[in-house]
Amino acid sequence: MDEVIQVTQWLSSITPRKKAKLFFFTTHADAPSPMVGSNDVDTHEETQLPLATTVALHNFKNIDEFLKKKVSTFSCYNEIENEITKTDYEYLRFYSACKYLDVVPPFLDLEKISTIQNKFEMTDEERDYRLLLDSADLVLEKVCDSLKPAGVSQMWTALRKDRNLIRGVKTIDIIGFFVDPNPTGIKECLFFFIVRFLQKADKINRVNTNRLERLIAQCDESSSCEEGKTIDFIIDSLRFYPTELYPFGFCLIMCVIEGRDGAMQEIEKTMEISRHLGMVTHTEKNPTKETIELVKKELMKPKYQFYSSFTCWFMSHGDSNSMVLADGETIEREWFLTSFPDISTFQLKPKVFFMVSCRGANKFSLKGDEFEGQSATCDYYDIGSALIRNRMLDITDSVRDISYVQPMMDTLVAYSTILDHLSGRANTHGSIYVDRACVLMSENISRGRSLTEILEHLSQDLHEILQETMDEDRIVYKQACHYDSFFRKTLKLPYTRHPKEDVHSAPQ
């Protein structure tokens, strides 16, 4: 059958709502870099003009033409080049969006997709289409689904009132002030236009969503929310780190085995919980400084920009400032913690470090006969608060910036013990901190708990446990853990573990 006819039939089978979503997912705001063919060309017209004309004319002609052009480009594309190109990235995004929306073109060349995945050096586990979807866009899709057409229309009216923001923007004028978002698919096009416009104007990104939240907050709840949804519910959904679908993130486990009883148990437990959470996991036993440098270099590869989060478990001996590696050399803990968050592939994404080692030799000792032989070691405030806000500083958009970010932002470092103190171990099961952390995370899947809530529970749980030193003094003591957070959003554990799909199965 002629390709033009095939494409026409394929487009005619897609509903307007799905066309709007397919366009949105395909014109993703933040493509991985560096990339061949990605030279910061202004894509304003490509990403916003089709949406604007669709809303203004109630006609999907321009979005159809955009999708036809994409299909034609992919059909003619030669994916054999060694370097990863912008088209490689777009092809994977387009395929994953089609798969997610269940509109995969029957004529799409799956062999090309496999070849492109090879260029990205993706493992079998990483070839799951869900990895290729941008989790921030999925959150925005859910926000859109929670709003009625009237709600999106009210957001548009609020945006149009910000004259400093919209001055000179032609696509804004194309849509006009008054919009009828009720025809099928128009609500989605208008919402996605607002989102992409704010992203291009550098007002929101995957972490900074305050400007979008303020637009939603101006909606009338009775007319703007779908049944069962509220303005607070919708805004709250934007205050979590976007980690939708599988995988939950990438997990790196580094564990020094030499001279550490129970180290293999630590590896097994952390691997089990990371996989239970739906993470893709990599383990490095007995790491050296060279190993760490190689891992950092690996994490800078383009494929890691598809991940939604990064978690690292580092388990070794240590003192107040450093950690002991497998070859006996030491590295400064601060150097380790500041070198990983600066990796560009995980910018604006949550990065969690579990640092499991002693930080000194001090102990919170417990004295008294009742402790003899007792030990576990042996085997914006609210947007609607107008009255309060009236008393606060008026922080205008002109003094806000989301472009420049301190490297440690969006990072959380969890320590197994406090400074200058021991980190306890069991004879055969390794770190008690690792054991309790894995148990609590496993127990709290499906309960909607955030990571910090679990860490606070872990702090309580660990501090109840009596431990005993393994030297001849047999001192009974307690251990206190803590964490330092530079998070700007809340990181929730997934409600369920999303199982890995068969990557070789044909699209439905």
Task: Say how many residues make up the chain.
Answer: 508
- Please tell me the CATH code under which domain 249-363+405-486 is placed: 3.40.50.1460
Q: What is the predicted pLDDT for the residue at 365?
A: 66
**DSSP string over 302-345:** GGGGG-S-EEEEEE--B-SSEEE-TTS-EEEHHHHHHHSTT-GG
Look at the pTM and tell me if it is higher than 0.75. Answer: yes
The share of the chain scoring above pLDDT 90, in percent, equals: 59
pLDDT band at 445 (very low <50, low <70, confident <90, very high): confident
Per-residue pLDDT averaged across 209-219, rounded? 94
**What's the DSSP call for residue 383?**
T
497: buried, middle or exposed (CB in 10 Å: 19+, 13-18, 0-12)?
Answer: middle
Check whether 287 has a pLDDT greater than 70.
yes
**pLDDT digit string, tens, across residues 245-277:** 788 899 999 999 988 988 999 999 999 999 888
Closest CA to 302 of 119, 44, 158, 56: 119
Closest CA to 442 of 267, 275, 283, 280: 275
What residues does each domain of the chain span? 3-29+43-239, 249-363+405-486
**pLDDT digit string, tens, across residues 343-368:** 888 999 999 999 999 988 887 666 66
Check whether 140 has a pLDDT greater than 50.
yes
**pLDDT digit string, tens, across residues 171-213:** 898 998 889 999 999 999 999 999 999 999 999 999 999 999 9
Please check whether residue 417 is in contact with residue 425, taking contact to mean a CB–CB distance below 8 angstroms. Answer: no
DSSP lists the bridge partners of residue 315 as 255, 356
- The phi, psi pair for 34, rounded to 5°, reads -80, 150
Distance of CA 463 to the CA centre of its chain: 31
Closest CA to 45 of 134, 171, 162: 171
Per-residue pLDDT averaged across 457-472, rounded? 85
Mean pLDDT, all residues of the chain: 86
Q: What is the predicted pLDDT for the residue at 1?
A: 61
- C-alpha 335/C-alpha 331 separation (Å) is 7
Please check whether residue 254 is in contact with residue 315, taking contact to mean a CB–CB distance below 8 angstroms. Answer: yes
DSSP lists the bridge partners of residue 314 as 254, 355
Cβ count within 10 A of residue 211:
18
| 3-state per-residue secondary structure call for 43-103 | CHHHHHHHHHHHHHHCCCHHHHHHHHHHHHHHHHCCCCCCCCEHHHHHHHHHHHHHHHHCC
